[in-house]
Amino acid sequence: MKATIYDVAKEAGVSIATVSNAINGKGKVSRKRREQILEIMERLQYQPSVIASALMGKQTYTVGMLIPDISNPFFAEIARAVEDRAHQEGYSVIICSTDNRDERVERYLTLLQQKSVDGIIIGTGIEDLDILRRLQANGVPLAMIAREAPALSVDTVVTDDETGGRLAAEHLVSLGHRRLAVLAESRKVSSSRERIRGFREGLSAAGIALEEESIAVCEYKVEDGKRRALELLALPPEERPTGIFCCNDLLAIGALQAAKEKGIPVPEGLSIVGFDDTILASVTDPPLTTVAQPMEEMGRLAFDRLAACLQRRDSERQRVVLKPELKARRSTAPAPQ
Q: Which is nearer to a second copy, 29 or 256 (CB)?
A: 256
Closest-CA residue to 152 (of 116, 113, 186, 126): 126
* Contact call for residue 284 and a second copy (CB under 8 A): yes
Shorter beta-carbon distance to a second copy: residue 191 or 257: 257
Q: Which of residues 137-176 bind a second copy (CB under 8 A)?
A: 138-139
Sign of CA dihedral 167, 172, 173, 175: positive
264 lines the binding site for a second copy (CB under 8 A): no
Nearest 5°: the CA angle 132, 137, 143 is 45
CB 257 within 8 A of CB 222: yes
319 is a site residue for a second copy (CB under 8 A): no
By CB under 8 A, name the one of 133, 152, 178, 286 that touches a second copy: 286
DSSP state of 316: P
CA–CA gap between residue 56 and residue 58 (Å, rounded): 6
Rule CB under 8 A: say whether 92 interacts with a second copy: yes
- Does residue 112 belong to the site contacting a second copy (CB under 8 A)? yes
Given candidates 18, 21, 62, 163, which one binds a second copy under the rule CB under 8 A? Answer: 62
Give yes or no for residue 88 binding a second copy (CB under 8 A). no
Does position 108 interact with a second copy (CB under 8 A)? The reply is yes
**Is residue 229 near a second copy by the rule CB under 8 A?**
no
CA distances to 2, 9, 142, 264 from 56, rounded to whole Å, are 19, 15, 22, 64
The CB-of-225 to a second copy minimum distance in angstroms stands at 12
Other CB atoms within a 10 A radius of the CB of residue 204 amount to: 13
Contact 105, 131 (CB under 8 A): yes
Q: Is 32 in the site for a second copy (CB under 8 A)?
A: no
**How many CA atoms within 13 Å lie on the side-chain side of 259?**
23
Contact 196, 182 (CB under 8 A): yes
Query: Where does this chain touch a second copy (CB under 8 A) — which range of 15-23, 119-127, 145-153, 226-234?
Result: 15-23
Nearest to a second copy of 35, 285 (CB atom): 285
The 10 Å Cβ neighbour count of residue 42 is 9
The span from the CA of 149 to the CA of 128, in Å, is 10
Check binding of 102 to a second copy (CB under 8 A).
no
CB of 92 to a second copy, least distance (A): 5
124 binds a second copy (CB under 8 A): no
Q: Residues binding a second copy: what is the number (CB under 8 A)? A: 55
22 binds a second copy, rule: CB under 8 A: no
**Chosen residue from 36, 59, 60, 318 binding a second copy by CB under 8 A:** 60
CB of 167 to a second copy, least distance (A): 23
Decide: is 236 part of the binding site for a second copy (CB under 8 A). no
User: Shortest CA distance to 177 belongs to which of 195, 212, 202, 194?
Assistant: 202
Beta-strand (E) ranges in 4-145? 62-67, 92-97, 119-122, 142-145
In whole angstroms, the minimum distance from the beta carbon of 216 to a second copy comes to 20
Q: In a 3-state reduction of DSSP, which class is residue 279? A: helix
**In the set 3, 38, 55, 264, which binds a second copy (CB under 8 A)?**
55
2 near a second copy, judged by CB under 8 A: yes
Chain center to CA of 139: 21
Q: Burial of 202 by CB count in 10 Å (0-12 exposed, 13-18 middle, 19+ buried)?
A: buried
**What are the residues binding a second copy (CB under 8 A)?**
2, 4-6, 15-17, 47, 49-52, 54-55, 57, 60-62, 69-71, 73, 76-77, 79-80, 83-84, 87, 90, 92-97, 107-108, 111-112, 114-116, 138-139, 222, 253, 256, 279-280, 283-287
